[in-house]
Amino acid sequence: ICIAAAKELAACAPEGGLNPEKILPSMDDEEIFPRVATATAMQAIAEPYIRNRAVRHLEKGRVVIFGCGTGNPFFSTDTASSLRAAEIDAEIIFKATLVDGVYDSDPNKNKDAVKFDNVTFSEVLNKNLSVMDMTAASMCKDNSIPVLVFDLSNPDNIYKAITGENIGTIVKED
């Protein structure tokens, strides 16, 4: 299992950074063996991202959490997540964010916004839905990688996503 950690994970840490201690304890309780890999050096909490090492962790049944984007300018965390998912042949991206799924408009600004249970990448791209940036959405579409968008504020949702419970919105091929 791979979790691509986006900037929203910063909301879990008062100091404003990726804090795996906030998202990993429930995994330890379930004998899930997580590894955090980052594009930039963070030796105290993570190992450097190396594709082959990440794949080996996955082959051993471990969860791999990617953080810190690509380490290069001009790439969003969404694009970094899509890139990492394509590199390791991920089956799905879990996009933990500040809303509980994909809506037809911003639910924080429009009380009548309608949430989708499922949406296609073509709909995301054609309707400019706020799921992820267009580069990331195109990369997921081109590589047939579905994206599960769910609310990070509920700490149980990461576990629910990993175990296949029905939460959030799934973005998939046409």
Domains of the chain: 2-172 (3.40.1160.10)
Q: Which of 94, 114, 79, 108 is closest to 167 using CA atoms?
A: 94
**95-151 pLDDT, tens digit each:** 988 899 999 999 999 999 999 999 999 999 999 998 899 999 999 999 999 999 999
- From CA 160, how far away is CA 166, in angstroms rounded? 8
- From CA 41, how far away is CA 18, in angstroms rounded? 13
Give the confidence band of 28 by pLDDT, cuts at 50, 70, 90.
low
Dihedral over Cα of 113, 76, 58, 11: its sign: negative
Buried b (16+ CB within 10 A) or exposed e, 30-49: eebebbbbbbeebeeebbeb
Integer CA distances (angstroms), 29 to 5, 13, 153, in order: 20, 21, 20
- From CA 169, how far away is CA 171, in angstroms rounded? 6
Q: Which pLDDT value is given to residue 166? A: 93
- From CA 58, how far away is CA 56, in angstroms rounded? 5
pTM of the complete model: 0.77
- Is the model's pLDDT at 61 over the cut of 90? no
